[in-house]
Amino acid sequence: MESIKIGKAKLAWLNGGVTHLDGGAMFGVVPRALWSKKYSVNADNQIELRTDPILLQVDGLNVLIDSGIGNDKLSEKQKKIFGVWEESNLTEELSTHSLTCEDIDIICMTHLHFDHACGLTKWKDGELVPAFPNAKIYTSEVEWNEMRNPNIRSVNTYWEDNWKPIVHQVHTFKEEAEIVEGLKMIHTSGHSDGHSILFFEDGDETFIHMADLMPTHAHQNILWALAYDDYPVTSVHQKEKWMNLGYRKGAWYTFYHDAYYRALKFDEKGNVIESLARPQSSYD
Ligand SMILES: [Zn+2]
């Protein structure tokens, strides 16, 4: 799988499964005539969205960014609705880095929607148990509260199966948390009220993981917010802030959902100057 070195950090993408969601829902008020030029769409109006965690190795620690779609966590009906054509392959993928799930020290959860959090737990002898038993799991306090007490809309994506078994592993923060030296999680709200991004800096090398504020390269336009966003105007303001900063710094932007690019780097005007593509298999 693809990897990149940014300062002292090494990032590698792991196969965490895939979803295929309605393109219109992923681009909110943007007309299909515009978004379909930037991101490929199938006959059912679905777009391919990976759910690939990033393995971030820094200061001797193994950090995961989000957890993938998991295995056997969705019913056949849910798999059909969400276009889950492939589930997580994390154990095998970690083994190519000479790691096991027990070796993961930290998981940074940008938010806890099912397509990010299903991989946190797994089935063992008919019971759900932590998939990464030795990991500290970081998420914002607001996100953690909504996960455990969802409203009538968010109950569709915040599932008990994904939080009850991992309660003892969770560490929350209010505005931001320094995870390791140079790596911060920052609460933004927007996509969900408790949504966070990651910001990493080592010398003049930077990456920003916008998570679902910019789920794919096609969402670079700060006005292109998702219909799934609970607070779309907040998403737009947060994108404005973090895209402008990243453009000035020549930051890399990394993706969890993008089926075509793992990371992109932009110049001050927002033009792509470097990219790390995801190789396409023949059936894509
Ligand atoms: Zn997502």
Distance 23 CA to ligand 1 centre (A): 13
Structural domains in the chain, sorted by start: 3-277 (3.60.15.10)
Per-residue pLDDT band for 67 (boundaries 50, 70, 90) equals very high
Question: Which residues, in sequence order, are bridge partners of residue 86?
Answer: 18
Distance 177 CA to ligand 1 centre (A): 21
Distance 112 CA to ligand 1 centre (A): 9
Angstrom distance (rounded) from CA 187 to CA 85: 31
Contact, 212 vs 196, CB < 8 A?
Answer: no
Nearest Cα neighbor of 186 from 178, 247, 143 is 178
pLDDT at 277 over 90: yes
Distance 103 CA to ligand 1 centre (A): 25
Distance 84 CA to ligand 1 centre (A): 13
Please tell me the predicted confidence (pLDDT) of residue 278: 97
Distance 95 CA to ligand 1 centre (A): 25
List Cα–Cα distances, 259 to 15, 193, 228, 232, 278, in angstroms: 11, 26, 19, 23, 7
Angstrom distance (rounded) from CA 247 to CA 242: 8
Angstrom distance (rounded) from CA 240 to CA 245: 9
Distance 194 CA to ligand 1 centre (A): 13
Q: Where are the beta strands (DSSP E) in 59-146?
A: 61-65, 106-108, 121-124, 127-130, 136-140
Q: Mean pLDDT across the stretch 258-283?
A: 92
Please tell me the predicted confidence (pLDDT) of residue 1: 81
Cα of first residue to Cα of last residue in the chain, in angstroms, is: 16
Distance 215 CA to ligand 1 centre (A): 7
Distance 18 CA to ligand 1 centre (A): 11
Distance 113 CA to ligand 1 centre (A): 7
Please tell me the predicted confidence (pLDDT) of residue 98: 98
Distance 115 CA to ligand 1 centre (A): 6
pLDDT at 77 over 60: yes
- The pLDDT tens digits of the residues spanning 231-245 come to 999 999 999 999 999
Per-residue pLDDT band for 112 (boundaries 50, 70, 90) equals very high
Distance 75 CA to ligand 1 centre (A): 19
Per-residue pLDDT band for 7 (boundaries 50, 70, 90) equals very high
Q: Mean pLDDT across the stretch 183-210?
A: 98
Angstrom distance (rounded) from CA 18 to CA 279: 15
- The pLDDT tens digits of the residues spanning 219-234 come to 999 999 999 999 999 9
Distance 203 CA to ligand 1 centre (A): 30
pLDDT at 281 over 80: no
Radius of gyration of the chain (CA): 17
Distance 50 CA to ligand 1 centre (A): 9
pLDDT at 283 over 70: no
Per-residue pLDDT band for 83 (boundaries 50, 70, 90) equals very high
Q: Mean pLDDT across the stretch 38-55?
A: 97
Distance 63 CA to ligand 1 centre (A): 19
pLDDT at 282 over 90: no
Please tell me the predicted confidence (pLDDT) of residue 64: 98
Distance 67 CA to ligand 1 centre (A): 11
Per-residue pLDDT band for 140 (boundaries 50, 70, 90) equals very high
Please tell me the predicted confidence (pLDDT) of residue 280: 86
Distance 154 CA to ligand 1 centre (A): 13
Side chain identity at residue 178, one-letter code = E
Side chain identity at residue 119, one-letter code = G
What's the chain's average pLDDT?
Answer: 97
Q: Mean pLDDT across the stretch 124-153?
A: 98
